[in-house]
Amino acid sequence: MAIVWYFVMPEQPAQPVFVEIARGSSSSRIATELEEAGVVRSRWAFVGLHLLRRGRLKAGEYRFERMATVAEVYDRIARGDVFTIAVTIPEGMDRREIGERLARAGLGTKEGFLEATRTEVGRIHDLDPQAANLEGYLFPDTYRFARSASELQMADAMVKRFRVESMRLGLTSNVHEVVTLASIVEKETAVSEERPMVASVLENRLAKRMPLMTDPAVIYGLRSQNEWRGAIYASDLSDRSHDTPYNTYRHAGLPPGPISNPGSASLRAAMHPAKTDYLYFVATGDDPQGHSRFASTLDEHEKNVAIYRKARKQAGSR
């Protein structure tokens, strides 16, 4: 009895260890790997428990760091309690920023993610035949990925999440235009209740064939050409050498595609803009999370801009 107790008593690895169980592994192969990793004292105890329980052992990577009995280890593998890394993708990130965040979390590389979002664009061509990459369709959410997840698998999970959310919202037509508009709305305001009004300004300007003159789109274009200098300069807006299709000061209409990955609120605002006659908006102060002032005329807008500049000057003197 003492010998049996020795084999089934709790074991604790000397340090946290990872055990990768390949798909199709036999119970004896799994038991051997666990014993070699110092997770269980005896592979025979694990095999014997499997013969009694006849459970289905699930493939994946498992992390063991605390003392556990053979039965506890077995139960974890039977229920598929695999090790994953949680990563949150906020609304408004573009695909480069998402790639950087994933890489910092230990999930793939930024370059690999950018390549996957470019070469696998066909995955959303049924929704948006004009798409040049997956920008706009990498839905913001908290994801849990295995360390071994490929950049393609991660991008695919985000696209699938977008499909679920777009169906819930009823987004079935004009997807390219709606997502592009929503991506601008997402970058222009962090205030949820203002999003339909920002969308209305953009829609009203488009209807009047006025340039959108939205800075986030300009910045996106400059970054895509590695020409972003940390601030928008006059030459970025007027100089042909810095021109991009995303320069919404020079080019009328929507930019060629989304400039960020919008969340539900911005998608909903783009689908259902507020009914206004606003053509302009500007922040009320220096706080990027703050509210905006909306205007229907250029004169009114210029007054709002003066208020904004005064607020920024005061903020800089503090």
Q: Tell me, what's the pLDDT at 11?
A: 60
Which residues of the chain carry a pLDDT beneath 70?
Answer: 1-14, 241, 284-290, 315-318
Q: Which of 104, 117, 234, 128 is nearest to 176 (CA)?
A: 128
Closest by CA position to 266, among listed 148, 91, 21: 91
Q: So what's the pLDDT on residue 143?
A: 98
Ramachandran bin of 230, using left for φ above 0, alpha for ψ from -120 to 50, beta for the remaining angles: left
Is 2 in a helix, a strand, or coil? Answer: helix
What is the distance between the alpha carbons of residues 55 and 202, in angstroms, rounded to a whole number?
Answer: 58
Burial of 54 (0-12, 13-18, 19+ CB in 10 A): exposed
Domain ranges, ordered by start, for the chain: 2-79, 85-169, 175-317
pLDDT of residue 291: 83
Q: Enter the CATH code of domain 2-79.
A: 3.30.1490.480
Residues 268 and 181: their CA atoms lie apart, in Å, by 11
Predicted local distance difference test score (pLDDT) of residue 232: 81
Q: What is the pTM of this model?
A: 0.84
Helix axes 264-271, 151-169, angle to 10 degrees: 50
